[in-house]
Amino acid sequence: MANSSGQDIITDLPQSIIEIILTKLPIRDAVRTSILSSRWRYKWATLTQLVFDDNCVSQFNDRTATENKLVKFITRFLFLHEGPIHKFTLSTYYLQSSPDIDQWLLFLSRKGIKELVLEVGDEEWFRAPSCLFACLKLTSLELLRCELDPPPEFRGFSCLKYLNLQQVLVAPEVIENLISGCPLLESLTLSYFDSLALTVRAPNLKYLKLEGEFKDICLEYTPLLVVVSVAMYMTDDKTEPFEQSSGCNFDKFLGGVPCLEKLTGQIYFTKYMSIGYELGKVPLTYDRLKLIQLYQVSFEDMKEILVVLRLILSSPNLQELQISSSSNAIAASEATDLNFWETDCPTGCTLKNLKTVKISDLSGVPHEMEFLKFLLKNSPVLEVMSVLPGIYVSCGKLNVVIELLRFRRASAKAEIIFIQDQV
């Protein structure tokens, strides 16, 4: 494949390929190709995917100078740009809310923007201008540190499929209306909200991620939900408002998700779910649920254990279970309700597909051990149970091992792996 030396090997490639190559370069390098030769002068100007960040300009010690340089660079770039812009990402620490960003958004709204990511500096939260809500072709919107206040005539983004709001200051009704107004929404991520009470109506939603302090989540209509990931933060004083919310949180949250395949609950999730829980209600079966990850489950609270049990028992096709415990060994040594496991615990329930169990932060408290016993007894196809003791458990480890060894195992293949001192 020898080329005569001096023959241009790249300029004659189709423009579509050159755009692919330029898109994979940092935008600064892409613009610099304009002085390679006369034919390269405007090859960069029709790029449809633009990513601007603080690396676009050389950085000075003076923050204002860097900010100005960045603003100039982006403004000049957009001014010289030709054709539609489909993806625009602005991720900067230096740039604060400024009228320039508003202008850029106005410009983008006229260029048929489809995917927008906006993350600006954190001193002054950027107030999204109304032209953002005029970008009706948006399919993906990601906003960080932003204030959203849509105009009254805003009906939602009819093409939006992916919505990610982090640290966004917005009224709760606005979010609900926004979600309802995006009928095609498939993925929703809400992070770092304060005291948000949310009712979600999203017929096409498949992926839901929530992180923050939520007062009340009701998944009213989310029939296609496949993956749910919730991290519920809570300060200790806020446990009371939790108690006051009406109805059973479990049902409100997981009552209408028959297609669920993966569930991840972190921090206070199980506690949240346990509120209003009534044993004996006919549960929904999660036929497709294959993976359950529950972190910081407190095995001192009977209610939380019930929640876990209900989840496991409602998932006949569960294959993997990961649980981390947040029990305090000292406090839980006088455990109550231990007879639950012998008397009230549902019997004859086989976890027919459970293959892997991972338990971490195990303290060896009675309820934890009973739970493991329960799992071992009822999992005929179990292959691996890996146990990672909590870092504060020093002398109890051997007891835990001894107890575990005693437990009857329904599965002949089951291996109990005790992981030591993972540094």
Residues of this chain that bind another protein (CB under 8 A): 1-3, 5-11, 13-14, 16-17, 20-22, 24-26, 29, 32-38, 40-42, 45, 76, 80, 82
Cα separations (Å) of 129 from 83, 114, 196? 23, 17, 23
In the numeric block, which tokens belong to residue 254? Answer: 């997981």
In angstroms, give the least distance from the CB of 57 to another protein. 16
In angstroms, give the least distance from the CB of 383 to another protein. 21
Tokens 């190709």, residue located:
33
Q: Which of helix, strand or coil describes residue 216?
A: strand
In the numeric block, which tokens belong to residue 291? Answer: 């993976």
- Measured from the CB atom, the residue of 32 and 155 that comes closer to another protein is 32
In angstroms, give the least distance from the CB of 27 to another protein. 11
CA–CA separation, 86 vs 49, rounded Å? 6
In angstroms, give the least distance from the CB of 56 to another protein. 14
In angstroms, give the least distance from the CB of 59 to another protein. 17
In angstroms, give the least distance from the CB of 87 to another protein. 16
In the numeric block, which tokens belong to residue 7? Answer: 């023959």
276: Cβ–Cβ under 8 A, 6 or more apart, which residues?
245, 246, 247, 248, 249, 250
In angstroms, give the least distance from the CB of 140 to another protein. 20
**How many CB atoms are closer than 10 A to CB 44?**
23
Q: Is 58 exposed, middle or buried (0-12, 13-18, 19+ CB in 10 A)?
A: exposed
**How many CB atoms are closer than 10 A to CB 18?**
19
**How many CB atoms are closer than 10 A to CB 146?**
21
- Measured from the CB atom, the residue of 16 and 246 that comes closer to another protein is 16
- Measured from the CB atom, the residue of 9 and 402 that comes closer to another protein is 9
**How many CB atoms are closer than 10 A to CB 152?**
4
Closest listed residue to residue 394, CA positions, set 337, 333, 329: 329
- Measured from the CB atom, the residue of 35 and 395 that comes closer to another protein is 35
Q: Which of helix, strand or coil describes residue 118?
A: strand
- Measured from the CB atom, the residue of 56 and 202 that comes closer to another protein is 56
- Measured from the CB atom, the residue of 71 and 372 that comes closer to another protein is 71
Closest listed residue to residue 374, CA positions, set 395, 402, 404, 401: 404
- Measured from the CB atom, the residue of 20 and 171 that comes closer to another protein is 20
- Measured from the CB atom, the residue of 82 and 415 that comes closer to another protein is 82
In angstroms, give the least distance from the CB of 111 to another protein. 16
